[in-house]
Amino acid sequence: MAQRTTEIVTGLFIIAGLAALVFLALQVSGLSPKSDTDTYTLYANFNDVGGIAPRGKVAMAGVTVGSVRSVTLDRETLQARVELAIDAEVDNIPADSAAVIRTSGLLGEQYIDISIGGDMESLQPGDRFYSTQSAMNLERLITNFASGK
Amino acid sequence: MMDNIAALGRLGLDVIATVGRAGRFLTGVLVGVPRPSVGFPLLVRQLYSVGVLSLAIIVVSGLFIGMVLGLQGYTILSDYGSEAAIGQMIALTLVRELGPVVTALLFAGRAGSALTAEIGLMKATEQLSSMEMMGVDPLRRVIAPRLWAGFIALPILAAIFSMVGIWGGMLVGVEWLGVFEGSFWGNMQASVSFTEDVLNGVFKTVVFGFVCSWIAVFQGYDCVPTSAGISSATTKTVVYSSLAVLGLDFVLTAVMFGDF
Amino acid sequence: MDSGVYITLRDVVFSRSGRRIFDGVSLDIPRGKITAIMGPSGTGKTTLLRLIGGQLKPDSGEILVAGESVPKLKRKALYTLREKMGMLFQSGALFTDLSVFENVAFPLRVHTSLPDDMIRDIVLMKLEAVGLRGARRLMPAELSGGMTRRVALARSIALDPELIMYDEPFAGQDPIAMGVLVKLIRDLNLSMGLTSVLVSHDVPESLSICHYACIIADGQVIGEGTPDELRQHSSERVQQFLQGQPDGPVPFHYPAADIGSDWGLGGGSA
Ligand SMILES: Nc1ncnc2c1ncn2[C@@H]1O[C@H](COP(=O)(O)OP(=O)(O)O)[C@@H](O)[C@H]1O
Ligand SMILES: [Mg+2]
C-alpha cells in the first residue's frame, strides 16, 4: 500500500483509540470536566459507618449530590469521621439536616442520605452534621431481638 | 540423580543467560533513536501492520465478549432483582480485566507471532546480517520500530476493545433484555472511577504492550535461523507472552485493586 | 605496512561452540586485485568474511582492514568502515518487502542525503551494470536465483565501496548464470579497481578470474599464490582439493569417534 494511505489509516486508528479513551472517561466513568473543582466539604461523625467507603454516593431526596472523600477514625470521640464532598450548586442544605446511612434495596450498596431539616441557616463549607444516624446493622438487630433487649 | 541435578542447573543457567541476552538486546534497541525523518515512516508502517491489521479481530472479539457478559450478567443479577447493575458489571469487568488481558492475548497470537516469524525469517535469509554489513544497525532499523509499534498499538486496541465490549453489553442488556437505559449508564458511571479503573486498566495495557512486543521481537531476533527454529520461536512468543500477561495481570491487580 | 595490502590477517584464532575453526590463519589480501579463498564446505569461509566484516570477533590475532584493526573498533567506527565494504551473501539476502529498485536504493537512502532523482540515476546505473535495469519494479520473490544475486551485487556496489566480498557467488547457478557472474566480477574489478575477495569452492571458475588464491582447510591456510603457482603446488592436500579427489589428506569425514562405537560394536556404551 502507498505510504500516504498507510499514514492516513494509521492516523485514523490512533484517533479511534483516543476516542475510545474519551468514551471510557465520559460515558463509562462519568468523568465530567468540572468534577473536582467545585465541591465543598462537610463532615459527619457516625458510631458505625458500615459499608461506607471512599467514592460512595451521597444523596438528597434520592438525587446524588456528592461523594464520600474519606473515612477515618476520630481519636477523641472514637467515632467514624466521614469527609463528604458536596456539589457546590447544593449550597443551601439546612443546618439541622441529618446524615443517615441507608441501603439501596435489600442487599444493595450503602450510601449516605441527607435528610432535610427546616432551619433557615445553611451548612457552610467545613461544617459538621449535628445529627447522624448510623448504619442499620442487620446482624446486631437480630442479636438484640433474640436476647430480648 | 546427579545428572538430573546437573541438567537442572544447566537449564537454570540457560534461562538466566537468555534473560541477560534479552536485556542487552533491549538496551541495543532503545538507545540511539534514529532521525525522526527516517524513524517516523518506519514506525507508521509497523503501526499499520501491528495495530490497524489487528483491529478486526479485536472489534469482533470485544463485541462478542461484551454480549456474553450482558447475557450472563443478566441471568445472575436478575435473580436478585438488581439487573440494573449490569452496566456496572460489564464496564468494570472489561475496563479492569478483560479489556487489557484479552486484547494482550489476542495481540500475542495475531501480531506477536507475526513479528517473531518475520524477524526470524529476515535472520534466516541473512537480511539482518546484510543490513549490518551495509553499516545499518538492524536493532535500530528493523527491531526498534516494531517494538515501539507494539507498545503503542496495544493500549489503543485495548481501549477500542473495552468500548466495543460495553456497547455490545448494552446491545444485549438494554435493547434485547430490556434493562432501563438510564440505570444501565447511571449505575456504570456511579461505580466506574476514571483514575482508579480506567487509568489503571490503561496502565496494565501499557505494561502488557511492552512485554508482549519485547518477547515477540526478541524471540525473532534470537531464534535459530532454520525453519524449525522459527516455528519454535513463534510458539514460544505466544506461550511466553500469554503466561507473562496472565502472571503480570495478577501482580498488577493485586497492587492496584488489592487494598480496599 | 605494505600499501599494496588492503586486508591483513595475523594468527587469527577463532572457535565456535567449542570447535576450533581457525587455528592461526595469516593472510594478506592485495588492494585492487581479486583474491579467491577456497576450501571445502564447512571450513569456515563464510566465517572468515564475517570476521573481516567485524560481525564476529576472533579469540586472538589481528585483523586489519584499510589499516584499521576491525576487532578493536568501536561500534560507530565499525559502521563507518562497513560503508566502504560491500558483501554479497550466499543467498543474496535481498529485503523481501522492498522492490528491486528500493533494494538497490536502500544503502543510498540510509547513508546519503541525495535528492530522489539522483538516487534514481545511480540505482538505474548500478542495475544497468548487472543487466537488470528492466527488472527494477519486480519484487525479490519474482526473481530467479541468478537474478537475485545480480540485484544483490548491484546493491553491494551502490555506495561505490573499496572492498567487495563475494560469498559463494557461483554455488547452485546454471552455467550461463555462472558465466554472467564471472564476467561481472571481473568487470567490476577492472572498471572500479575494487578489492575483491571471492569465497568459493568452485575451483575452475575461481582460478580463472582471480589474481591470487589461497586454500583453507582444517583451520589453516594450506596453500597460497597465483593460480599458476597453486596448480604447480607440491602439497598433496592442495592437489587433492584442486582436482576434487574424494578422499585424501583432507578428510571426507567430519571429525567423529571410531565408527564402531556409534554402531555399538566397540564394546563401549552406545
Ligand atoms: N552459528 C553457528 N554456531 C556454531 N557453529 C557454527 C555457526 N555457524 C557456522 N558454524 C560452524 O562453523 C563452521 C564454518 O562454517 P561456515 O563459515 O559457514 O563454512 P563455509 O562457509 O566454509 O561452508 C561450520 O563447521 C559450522 O559447523
Ligand atoms: Mg559458507
pLDDT over threshold 80, residue A35? no
Q: For B200-212, what is each residue's pLDDT tens digit?
A: 999 999 999 999 9
Q: How confident is the model at residue C270 (pLDDT cuts 50, 70, 90)?
A: very low
**In whole angstroms, what is the distance from residue B152 CA to residue B143 CA?**
14
Cell triple for B246: 496472565
For the CA of C39, the nearest atom of ligand 1:
22
Cell triple for B196: 482508579
C98, closest residue in chain B (CA to CA): B127
Q: How confident is the model at residue B180 (pLDDT cuts 50, 70, 90)?
A: confident
How many CA within 13 A on the CB side of residue B144? 21
**In whole angstroms, what is the distance from residue A101 CA to residue A58 CA?**
9
pLDDT, average across residues B137-159: 91
Q: For C15-27, what is each residue's pLDDT tens digit?
A: 888 888 888 888 8
Q: How far is CA C6 from CA C23, C59, C98, C226, in A?
A: 22, 22, 33, 17
Beta strands in C31-146 (DSSP E): 34-38, 60-65, 68-69, 85-88
pLDDT over threshold 60, residue A148? yes
Mutation target for C interface from B125, B130, B139: give the one with most C CBs within 10 A. B130
Cell triple for B190: 456511579
Q: How far is the CA of C45 from the centre of ligand 2 (A)?
A: 6
Residue B111 located in a structural domain: yes
Name which of A3, A13, A24 is nearest B198 (Cβ-Cβ).
A24
The neighbour count for residue C219, using CB atoms within 10 Å, is 18
The neighbour count for residue C239, using CB atoms within 10 Å, is 17
Contact C218, C250 (CB under 8 A): yes
Helices C145-156, C175-192: crossing angle, 10 deg rounding: 10
Inter-chain touch A17–B55, beta carbons under 8 Å: no
Res B108: pLDDT: 94
Inter-chain touch B126–C91, beta carbons under 8 Å: yes
Res C1: pLDDT: 43
What are the φ/ψ torsions at residue A114 (nearest 5 degrees)? -95, 110
Q: How confident is the model at residue B55 (pLDDT cuts 50, 70, 90)?
A: very high
pLDDT over threshold 70, residue A33? no
3-class secondary structure for B217-239?
A: HHHHHHCCCCHHHHHHHHHHHHH
Q: For C96-124, what is each residue's pLDDT tens digit?
A: 888 999 999 998 888 888 888 989 999 99
Chains B+A touching (3+ CB pairs under 8 Å): yes
Res A36: pLDDT: 55
Residue B114 located in a structural domain: yes
Q: For A42-99, what is each residue's pLDDT tens digit?
A: 999 988 888 787 777 888 888 888 888 888 998 888 889 999 989 888 888 888 889 9
What are the φ/ψ torsions at residue A130 (nearest 5 degrees)? -75, -45
Residue B18 located in a structural domain: no
Inter-chain touch B44–A6, beta carbons under 8 Å: yes
Residue B89 located in a structural domain: yes
B111 in contact with A at a CB cutoff of 8 Å? no
Contact B135, C83 (CB under 8 A): yes
Average pLDDT of every residue of chain B:
89
Residues flanking ligand 1, CB < 6 Å: C 16-17, 21, 41-47
Contact C112, C54 (CB under 8 A): no
Residue B164 located in a structural domain: yes
Res C251: pLDDT: 62
**In whole angstroms, what is the distance from residue B141 CA to residue B98 CA?**
34
B260, closest residue in chain A (CA to CA): A53
Structural domain count of chain B: 1
Nearest CA to ligand 1 atom 10: C16
Q: How far off is chain B from A25, nearest CA to CA, in Å? A: 6
The neighbour count for residue C217, using CB atoms within 10 Å, is 20
As for the ipTM of the complex, it is 0.80
Name which of B47, B80, B162 is nearest A24 (Cβ-Cβ).
B162
Top-confidence residue, C92 or C244: C92
Residue among C14, C41, C47 whose CB has most ligand 1 atoms within 8 A, to mutate = C47
Q: How far is the CA of C171 from the centre of ligand 1 (A)?
A: 17
Cell triple for C38: 577456497
Nearest to B97 by CA among B216, B238, B248: B248
Nearest to A58 by CA among A47, A74, A71: A71
Nearest ligand, measured from the Cα of C47: 1
Give the domain range for residue B251: 32-257
Residue B19 located in a structural domain: no
Name which of C50, C83, C94 is nearest B135 (Cβ-Cβ).
C83
Nearest ligand, measured from the Cα of C49: 1
Q: For C136-162, what is each residue's pLDDT tens digit?
A: 888 988 988 888 888 998 898 888 888
Top-confidence residue, B202 or A37: B202
Q: For C214-226, what is each residue's pLDDT tens digit?
A: 888 888 888 888 8
- Spell out the domain ranges in chain A: 1-33, 36-137
Q: For A90-121, what is each residue's pLDDT tens digit?
A: 888 888 889 998 887 666 678 889 988 888 88
**In whole angstroms, what is the distance from residue A27 CA to residue A25 CA?**
6
Inter-chain touch C87–B135, beta carbons under 8 Å: no
Beta A110-115 vs A57-60: how paired, if at all?
A: parallel
All residues of chain C having their beta carbon less than 8 Å from the beta carbon of residue B136 are 79, 107, 110
B5: which residues sit within 8 A by CB, 6+ positions away? none
Res C268: pLDDT: 46
pLDDT over threshold 90, residue A28? no
Contact C93, B125 (CB under 8 A): yes
Contact C191, C203 (CB under 8 A): no
Name which of C55, C111, C152 is nearest B132 (Cβ-Cβ).
C55
What are residue C62's DSSP bridge partners?
Answer: C10
**What element of type H or E holds B107?**
helix B99-107
Q: Provide the residue type at B84 as one letter.
A: A
Q: How far is CA B49 from CA B43, B110, B118, C141, in A?
A: 10, 10, 12, 20
3-class secondary structure for A27-72?
A: HHCCCCCCCCCCEEEEEEEECCCCCCCCCCEEEECCEEEEEEEEEE
Among chain A, residues having any CB pair with chain B shorter than 8 Å are 1, 3, 6-7, 9-10, 13-14, 16-18, 20-21, 23-25, 27-31, 53-55, 57, 64, 105, 107-108
Nearest to B208 by CA among B167, B153, B131, B258: B153
Inter-chain touch A6–B48, beta carbons under 8 Å: yes
The neighbour count for residue C100, using CB atoms within 10 Å, is 27
* Residue showing cell 458489571: B89
Q: How confident is the model at residue C253 (pLDDT cuts 50, 70, 90)?
A: low
Cell triple for B26: 533491549
- In chain B, % of residues over pLDDT 70: 97
Q: How confident is the model at residue C207 (pLDDT cuts 50, 70, 90)?
A: confident
Mutation target for B interface from C17, C78, C81, C95: give the one with most B CBs within 10 A. C95
pLDDT over threshold 90, residue B241? yes
pLDDT over threshold 90, residue A37? no
